Amino acid sequence: MVKNSGYSIDQSPLFRLSSKKKLAGLLGVSVKYLHSILTLDNYRIWEAPQKYQDILAGFPPPSKTRKIQEPKQLLLRLHKKLSIFLSRIKKPDFVYSATKGRSYVDNAREHMNFGRAIKIDIKDFYPSVRRKLVRDFFINDMQCAPDIAYVLSLLCCVKDSLPTGSPLSPVLSYFACSRLFCKIAHMAAVKNLKFTLYVDDMVFSGANATRSFCYQVVKELAYNGFIGHKITRFSSRQVKVITGVAVWPHKIGIPHKRQKRIRFFERAFKLNNNPDEIKILGGTLIGQYREAERLQPGSSMRARPIQERLNLINLQCVSVSPVTKKRRRRRLSSKLSKGIIDTLQTQKNKKKNDISSE
């Protein structure tokens, strides 16, 4: 198990905050700024379109679009600072998201030798984490003054829930729902199950990962206002796909869906002749190879021919400014002029020699 580092919650700078002046100081702003930002329109909200590289690769459009609520620059700065403070707090061993030194790969690796498994996601997780949960966390767990907790909940939420496009949401969503997740962890421990959590992706593995246990977890989620969905049960003989990683009893690898995605991009990259589109597809492929290296060593070597083609295109597409072109013409003209003068001088000298010899 990868070590889960951090300090206890009572060591956090946010613990027992009792004045807006101290809160403003921690966030690096003035109290006046803190009050004014709460009155602004702080979010860019849009429906996430299909990525352009996916269109180039020939993927069909998604059946469902996702609403993105991204903090604007002023609020984003505060969200990043709050995220740093919360990320430094030690979490239980079952938490793998928003934790330094841990990743989705570590999360999947924990279930390699535990037989059958169940995976449960929470539907619309961030929109389901209400502002009341955030405020209660700052009051009950952080022991902040009620007015400070109220201000923090306003800073952290949009339209009464966590924003989907903020760097703060992954870590704050855990702390706002920590009592629920700890209750579920206890239920898993009683059944001698391995439990890991990655944002809202819950995985339980072991002999007692049964349909009845799955029902208990879904019921507990519903009792707390959440909906469990995308429920997948894996037998002990099946390859488990956990947080985008294929898990076998003694190894991990790249799942079939991800390999198929890479092949789509490889085919599109090979057949495309548009330099701009080739750069987009090539950059995407290189990123996928490097990420796949974490699961399958040697994958990054496949990026070499892609990079060579991109380098060739970059050389062919080097643009020369009008000023540079003008300077080159001047230098060329100067060289030509000098060459002509040298030629004339040579001819003149030869003529003189011929006359003197006569």
Euclidean distance between CA atoms 177 and 131, whole angstroms: 11
pTM of structure: 0.84
DSSP string, 192-227: T-EEEEETTEEEEESTT--HHHHHHHHHHHHHTT--
**Taking a C-beta distance cutoff of 8 angstroms, is the pair 186, 202 a contact?**
no
HSE-CB at 328 with a 13 A cutoff on CA atoms is 6
Q: What pLDDT does residue 318 have?
A: 62
Per mean pLDDT, which range of 45-49, 77-81, 207-211, 267-271 is the poorest? 45-49
Euclidean distance between CA atoms 272 and 184, whole angstroms: 50
**pLDDT tens per residue across span 141-191:** 999 999 999 999 999 999 899 999 999 999 999 999 999 999 999 999 999
Euclidean distance between CA atoms 127 and 153, whole angstroms: 14
Q: Is the pLDDT of residue 246 over 50?
A: yes
DSSP string, 29-90: S-HHHHHHHTTS--EEEEEEPPPHHHHHHTPPPPSS-EEEEEE-HHHHHHHHHHHHHHHTB-
